[in-house]
Amino acid sequence: MGLDTITLASGHQMPLVGFGMWKVPADKAADIVYNAIREGYRLFDGAYDYQNEKEAGEGIRRAIKDGLVKRDEIFVTTKLWNNYHQKDHALQMAKAQNEAWGLDYIDLYLIHFPVALKYIEPEKLKYPAWWMDVEHKVIETAPIPLQETWQALEEVVDMGIAKSIGISNAQAQTLYDIQRYARHPISSLQIEHHPYLVQPELVELAQEEKIAITAYSSFGPQSFLELPTAFRARAKDVSLLFDVDAVKKAAARVGRTPAQVLLRWATQRNIAVIPKSNNSTRLQQNLEVGSDSFTLTSEEIVSISALDKGLRFNDPGFYLDKPLRIFA
Ligand code: NAD
């Protein structure tokens, strides 16, 4: 099995397929990560917000100790949460997160969302508090411009804590803005990307600018059906992407699963994917979507892209009581 990579603007290589750590329970994370490495995964996509970095790091360290991989064959992505955008907080968090993983350095450090929230002591910010204060009620923004946060991430690179930096959930205007002052390039943009939310112009812009795209929630509604009501609301009334004709037809032709078609729809356009699964058959299948797996015809890519509804599931402008309309 070949492991395709994408060259980042920093010059480092990022695997085209990885494993997403959102909703992986902390008490199972070390074993799940260890097992994923045994199956062939090399990229792990974490975040402070997921509250399982330490355990994921333990799984990777165990795999290194057992001789399954070397550190430089593993690629760790993690993210700065919204409450820590102020420069000193961002530096502290990068150091603390790096220590939690315990792997000397982070491969890719991303700003999780381009919105600054009021500081909350890290020990008090317990998943799934996400956007809210410690009582899970108030959402308060903080007067911190993104430039300050980006420049803090650049220091994180200068200090050797991260090899590459980037941003998640940003739109074109934010990318253009960062480019005006960036000393270190935007290596990657991580976005929600599936056939119900294609964002073709954003993808085109990023690729023109050599910003590697990572798609999250590649299976669309599936991931959001597992969440509390407000987060589930947009997902529950649409067909699962596994069941739509364009995907099923392509899957039947290539003799693969609809899930694999959804992932290949992205990887074939040089977009990285980071699906999450706890099931070992799916874990293996999700990895088999690289260039040596199968090829969709351009008609199939077009017919799957035509499912686009501009339907965003991870939208704090929709699921928060006090909306943060960052995608407006
Ligand atoms: P996903 O699209 O990977 O879907 C996960 C769901 O699909 C789970 O219910 C899983 O059981 C199911 N599934 C997995 N493989 C399957 C298969 N082969 N067949 C059928 N069902 C299958 O969803 P996600 O977790 O939302 O996204 C993946 C990763 O992206 C996350 O773990 C996280 O690392 C990242 N992410 C980032 C952000 C961000 O703001 N940057 C937001 C969401 C997710």
> pLDDT class for 129, splitting at 50, 70, 90?
low
- In the predicted model, what is the mean pLDDT of the chain? 95
Q: Which two tokens stand for residue 12?
A: 């480092």
Is 5-219+260-294 assigned to CATH 3.30.1330.10? no
**Domain map (residue ranges) of the chain:** 5-219+260-294
Residue 128 has pLDDT above 80, yes or no: no
Show Cβ contacts of residue 266 under 8 Å, excluding neighbours closer than 6 positions. Answer: 193, 215, 218, 272, 273
Show Cβ contacts of residue 13 under 8 Å, excluding neighbours closer than 6 positions. Answer: 5, 6, 7, 75
72 C-alpha vs ligand 1 centroid, how far in Å?
25
Lining residues, ligand 1, CB within 6 Å:
20-22, 45, 112, 168-169, 190, 216-219, 222-223, 226, 257, 259, 274-277, 282, 285-286, 314
226 C-alpha vs ligand 1 centroid, how far in Å?
10
Phi-psi region of 157 (alpha: psi -120 to 50; beta: other; left: phi over 0): alpha
pLDDT of the residue at 136 = 65
First to last CA, the chain: 41
Given 34, 48, 50, 109, which residue is catalytic?
50
Q: What percent of the chain has pLDDT over 70?
A: 98
Query: Which residues does residue 189 pair with via DSSP β-bridges, in sequence order?
Result: 167, 213
Contact 192, 265 (CB under 8 A): no
Q: Convert the pLDDT of each residue in 58-91 to its tens digit.
A: 999 999 999 999 999 999 999 999 999 999 999 9
pLDDT of the residue at 126 = 72
Q: How many residues are present in the chain?
A: 328
Q: How confident is the model over 178-198, as a mean pLDDT?
A: 98
For the CA atoms of 68, 72, 73, 78, the dihedral, rounded to the nearest 10 degrees, stands at 110
* Integer CA distances (angstroms), 327 to 67, 70, 79, in order: 44, 39, 19
pLDDT of the residue at 132 = 73
pLDDT of the residue at 328 = 94
